[in-house]
């Protein structure tokens, strides 16, 4: 943007050339500051977040900026949102993560601390016990998973906590979907975006292989 003195000179020159008023001529010369697309940055539409919380992203940003939320840890931010605005648990996290993305505190797919995570799910037309056993039993895992996954704890047909071969954690949940069953996993604490991209493609391919194996 030109300095104030230069800007006035340019405006007057345009006025003489076009016959426009000072205000109109100035509007043509001063590039407007583009309003950031909060919904795109947050990864959630304004319509959805407003329907669930009563506020658009712009309202959330103004409110949280007022309370200096950029200085809060993620845990403190989520607790503040839940306690002050009475948001449902899932939407508490959505607002907290969305705000952090808007303010550049984290990237899409990354944690506040800088590490990355991958989430993948698959619904398969098999009983829950069959799907759970495909993860729990090492011999069955070897049929579709060409990598080392060590199961640390397991709640039958509900959840597992495991470690990948590089030591990064993998959390796995199992859910009934009528006559079908769903597995949803999150691979956490990946060190780089490249690692996250690689494991996202890997888990997508392996879950497809699992579905083919169980429904053959």
| Domain range summary for the chain, segments of one domain joined by + | 39-102, 116-215
User: What's the pLDDT score for residue 32?
Assistant: 62
Beta-sheet strands, E only, within 42-179: 116-124, 149-155, 159-164, 169-177
Residue length of the chain: 216
Tell me if residue 38 falls in helix, strand or coil.
helix
Tell me if residue 125 falls in helix, strand or coil.
coil
Q: Structure pTM?
A: 0.59
User: What's the pLDDT score for residue 107?
Assistant: 78
User: What's the pLDDT score for residue 1?
Assistant: 44
Tell me if residue 206 falls in helix, strand or coil.
helix
The hierarchical CATH code for the domain 116-215 is: 3.30.530.20
Task: Compute CA distances 87 → 77, 130, 182, whole Å.
Answer: 12, 37, 27
Kindly report, residue by residue over 129-185, the tens digit of the pLDDT: 999 999 999 999 999 999 899 999 999 999 999 999 999 999 999 999 999 999 999
Between CA 203 and CA 121 the distance in angstroms is: 9
Tell me if residue 122 falls in helix, strand or coil.
strand
For 58, phi then psi, to 5°, come to -60, -40
For 158, phi then psi, to 5°, come to -130, -55
Question: How many Å from the N-terminal Cα to the C-terminal Cα in the chain?
Answer: 65
Tell me if residue 11 falls in helix, strand or coil.
helix
Regions of the chain short of the pLDDT cut 70: 1-5, 31-34, 113
Between CA 152 and CA 173 the distance in angstroms is: 14
For 98, phi then psi, to 5°, come to -60, -45
Candidates 117, 160, 120; CA nearest to 141 is: 160
């Amino acid at each position: 943007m030109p300095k104030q003195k230069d800007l006035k000179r340019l405006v007057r020159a345009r006025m003489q050339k076009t016959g426009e008023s000072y205000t109109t001529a100035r509007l043509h010369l001063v590039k407007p500051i583009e309003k950031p697309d909060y919904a795109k940055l947050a990864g959630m539409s304004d319509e959805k977040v407003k329907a669930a919380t009563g506020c658009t992203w712009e309202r959330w940003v103004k409110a949280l900026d007022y309370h200096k939320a950029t200085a809060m840890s993620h845990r403190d931010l989520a607790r503040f949102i839940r306690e002050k605005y009475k948001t449902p648990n899932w939407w508490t996290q959505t607002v907290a993560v969305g705000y952090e993305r808007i303010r550049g505190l984290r990237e899409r797919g990354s944690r506040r601390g800088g590490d990355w995570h991958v989430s993948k799910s698959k619904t398969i037309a098999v009983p829950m016990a069959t799907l759970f056993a495909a993860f729990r039993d090492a011999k069955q895992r070897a049929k579709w998973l060409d990598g080392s996954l060590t199961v640390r704890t397991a709640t039958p047909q509900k959840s597992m906590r495991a470690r990948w071969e590089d030591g990064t954690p993998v959390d796995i949940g199992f859910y009934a979907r009528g006559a079908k069953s769903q597995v949803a996993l999150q691979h956490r604490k990946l060190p780089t975006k490249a690692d996250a991209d690689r494991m996202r493609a890997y888990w997508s391919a392996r879950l497809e292989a699992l579905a083919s194996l169980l429904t053959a």
